[in-house]
């Protein structure tokens, strides 16, 4: 990447493959930071709250000591499932019950959410690990001592399930927990043409960066590129200064595993501010 290719940029075009539920937040951040956002979702996400219903009809939560949320969509799906309940699934008195979530996702575990779980908020502990990764979440939960933890996770369709969730469940088991997996939402490949916007932008070298926020997004893009007879290397040849940014080390490792070299990794991945800040540093590094 040459300095001239960066200093000439007024509003760099940044493509991002984020699913719809996160797209608005990232698009607004990119716009506020003087980028031209190009949204090309490679995945669609659909909550399936009905899969959670059997766990919410009292006293179905009784065997559990915690719920571990690894995504925002899982929290939304859980909340949707709780709406028809005549009463919260946990009685007001009993041992402490833990709700665990990552980064800014934890903001959804507010008073309203807690009230849908239990009438007594003092019985509920909200746990947020300092590092926003599933591994850190498993570590923060500590020793399970044979207790059960409910894990609302995605059903992945059309792309391979990344190792993140299976690794998380395994780490919980190693820590003495009994993880109970429930597929609370569906993550599905957005289809053969989902890379079209990125392909078009790259034709005249008009693509300056690509942001990935999950490994499945990377696979979805690569799968669509193949439908156009292209590989990721073709994008780099068309756009020699292309910057590939990953929202955290888990996504970066997944992209590298799929053969996509990552240039920028957010060190603050509790929110999308981190990856945008990392882009700012990368582009500013080459300005006079």
**Rounded distance between C-alpha atoms, residue 16 and residue 218, angstroms:** 10
The boundaries of every CATH 3.40.50.10090 domain in the chain are 3-42+191-284, 46-189
CATH numeric code, 46-189: 3.40.50.10090
Identify the pLDDT of residue 174.
98
**Rounded distance between C-alpha atoms, residue 238 and residue 172, angstroms:** 44
Identify the pLDDT of residue 44.
95
Q: C-alpha angle with apex 220: 219 to 223, nearest 5 degrees?
A: 85
Identify the pLDDT of residue 268.
84
Identify the pLDDT of residue 7.
40
Q: Does domain 3-42+191-284 have CATH number 3.40.50.1100?
A: no
**Rounded distance between C-alpha atoms, residue 271 and residue 282, angstroms:** 18
**Rounded distance between C-alpha atoms, residue 109 and residue 106, angstroms:** 5
Q: Which residues in the chain show pLDDT less than 70? A: 1-9, 285-288
């Amino acid at each position: 990447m040459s300095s001239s290719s960066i200093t000439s940029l007024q509003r760099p075009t940044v493509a991002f493959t984020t699913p719809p539920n996160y797209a608005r937040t990232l698009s607004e951040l990119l716009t506020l930071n003087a980028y031209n956002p190009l949204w090309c979702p490679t995945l669609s996400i659909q909550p399936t709250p009905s899969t959670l219903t059997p766990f919410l009809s009292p006293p179905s939560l009784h065997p559990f000591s915690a719920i571990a949320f690894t995504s925002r969509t899982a929290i939304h799906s859980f909340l949707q499932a709780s709406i028809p309940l005549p009463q919260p699934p946990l009685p007001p008195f009993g041992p402490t019950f833990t709700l665990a979530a990552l980064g800014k996702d934890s903001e959804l575990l507010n008073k309203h959410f807690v009230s849908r779980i239990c009438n007594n908020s003092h019985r509920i502990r909200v746990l947020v690990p300092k590092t926003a990764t599933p591994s850190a979440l498993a570590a923060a939960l500590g020793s399970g001592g044979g207790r059960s933890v409910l894990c609302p996770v995605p059903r992945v369709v059309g792309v391979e399930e990344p190792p993140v969730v299976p690794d998380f469940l395994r780490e919980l088991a190693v820590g003495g927990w009994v993880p109970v997996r429930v597929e609370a939402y569906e993550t599905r490949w957005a289809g053969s043409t989902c890379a079209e916007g990125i392909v078009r932008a790259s034709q005249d070298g008009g693509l300056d960066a690509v942001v990935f926020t999950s490994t499945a997004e990377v696979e979805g893009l690569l799968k669509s590129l193949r439908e156009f007879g292209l590989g990721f290397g073709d994008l780099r040849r068309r756009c020699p200064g292309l910057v590939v940014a990953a929202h955290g080390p888990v996504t970066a490792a997944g992209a590298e595993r799929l053969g996509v070299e990552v240039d920028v990794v957010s060190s603050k991945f509790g929110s999308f501010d981190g990856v945008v800040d990392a882009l700012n540093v990368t582009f500013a590094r080459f300005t006079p």
